Amino acid sequence: MNPKLAGLTLFVAILITSCKKTKEPVDPITLKVLWSTEDTSHNNYRIPSIIVSKKNTVLAFSEGREGGDTGDIDILLRRSLDNGKTWEKQIVVWDDSANTCGNPCPVIDRSTGRIILLMTWNLGSDHETDIIRKKSENTRVPYMTYSDDDGVTWSAPQNLSESCKNEDWGWYATGPGVGIQMKSEKYRDRLIIPCNNSYDNPEMSVRDGFGYGSHVLLSDDGGTNWRMGEIITPEVNESQIVELNDGTLMMNMRSYNGKSSRAVSFSHDGGETWSAIEHDPQLVEPICQGGIINYGNYKEENMYLFSNPSVPFDRTHMTIKASFDECKTWSNSKLVYPGPSAYSCLTKLPNGNVGIFFEGGVQNAYEKMIFVSFAPEQIFKPGTAVDHFSRN
C-alpha cells in the first residue's frame, strides 16, 4: 500500500475511534420523572416504592393524592421492562372512591413470582390526628392484594386487621418502602413486611398519651396468612428491613428520640422478637423515611445500600451510603440530589445498576417522583448524580 495512503487510513481509523469514545458516556445515569404535580390524574403524588419482579419487570408504586396524608388517596403503579429506561402508563391498583388507600409496600415471592402488596386504608373523612387519638369514625386497617401477571392486574384487596393489628393501635402504616423474603435456611422463604403504628402510652403526656412504634408482619405460606412480630419502641416508625449474612434481621427506623439519626433493632428469630433500639450516628436524618437494601455481591464483597436526606434538619441532600461490613459502618456516600428531597426507596435492577426512586423538587421536596439509576461504581466516584430536573 502507498505509505501516504496507509498513513491517511490510520489517521481516519483513529479519528473514528476517538469520536465513538466521546459519544459513549461512561456509566450513564438514567433519570425519569414518573409522577409530577404537573400531571393531571391527581393533585399530587407521594410515597415512593420500587421493586423488581421475578420476570425482571421494574415496578414503581406511589400514592395519587388529592390532599395530604389522609383523604382521597389511590395507589398507583408504573412498570418498566427495560431497567427503567422507559415506563408504561400508570395503573390504578386501588381506588376506593374518596377513601384513603395508601402506603404501598410490596414483596416478591421468589418461589411463585407472585407480587404481594401490603397497604393501609381509612375513611377519607377521618384525619390522621383523630385516628391517632381514637376520635375518628373509623381506624386505619392493613390490607393485601397480589398480582400473578407481573403487575398488570390485581386481586381484590383483603382486610388483614383480624390478625395484623392490635386494638390499642390508632395510626397504622405499612412500610413505606418494600418488604423482603428471607434466605437463611431456618426461615427460608418467610415474607416480612415492615410496618409502624401508634399505641397507647400514658407516659407520653406530651402526645396526649400515645407513642410511636414499629413492627413486622410475617408469613410462612406465601402471603396466605399473616401475623405480627413484637412491637419495637420507643418513638420509632416508618421502617425498612434487611437480612444480614448470618440470618439476623436489622430494622432501620425513623426516630423521634432527639438523636438526629436512624434507629436500628435486631432480630435473631426471624422477626418474632427484637432487641432494644440503638441509634446509628453515621445515618444522620432530619426525622424522615429512609430506604435500605442488601444489594448483594459487588467486587466479591457483600454490599448494603442506605438512602435518605442525609442532613440533621430539613429534607434536602438525598444521599446513598454503602456498607461492606454488615451495616456496622457506612464507608462511602454518593450525593444523589442536593436540593429538596424526602422519601426514597432502593432496588437492584436486572442489569446490576442501582435504582433509587425518591421525592424531590426545586421549591419543595414533593414536586416530583424521580427514578434514577446508575452503575454501582458511581457510588465511589466524585460528583452529584443529579444536579437539576427536566421533564422526560
State residue 51's pLDDT score. 98
Nearest-angstrom CA–CA distance, 103 and 124? 14
At residue 341, the 3 state secondary structure works out as: strand
- pLDDT averaged over every residue in the chain: 92
The string of pLDDT tens digits covering residues 32-86 is 999 999 999 999 999 999 999 999 999 999 999 999 999 999 999 999 999 999 9
Q: List the single range of 1-10, 260-269, 314-323 with lowest mean pLDDT.
A: 1-10
First-to-last CA distance in the chain?
Answer: 51
> Under a CB-based contact definition with an 8 Å cutoff, are residues 251 and 267 in contact?
yes
The string of pLDDT tens digits covering residues 304-316 is 999 999 999 999 9
The string of pLDDT tens digits covering residues 347-361 is 999 999 999 999 999
Calculate what percentage of the chain has a pLDDT beyond 70.
Answer: 91
Cα–Cα distances (Å) from 65 to 8, 205, 255, 308, in that order, read 64, 32, 26, 22
**What count of residues does the chain have?**
392
Of the pLDDT bands very low, low, confident and very high (cuts 50, 70, 90), residue 205 is low
User: Is the confidence at residue 5, as pLDDT, over 70?
Assistant: no
Which of 345, 330, 354, 325 is CA-nearest to residue 245? 325
DSSP string of 258-282, one letter each residue: SSSEEEEEEESSTTSS-PPPEEEEE
| Cα three-residue angle 166-172-177, rounded to 5 degrees | 130
The string of pLDDT tens digits covering residues 111-155 is 999 999 999 999 999 999 999 999 999 999 999 999 999 999 999
Q: Widest CA span of the chain, in angstroms?
A: 95
State residue 208's pLDDT score. 81
State residue 387's pLDDT score. 80
User: Is the confidence at residue 4, as pLDDT, over 50?
Assistant: no
Residue 42 CA to chain centroid, in angstroms?
Answer: 21
State residue 28's pLDDT score. 86
Nearest-angstrom CA–CA distance, 161 and 174? 12
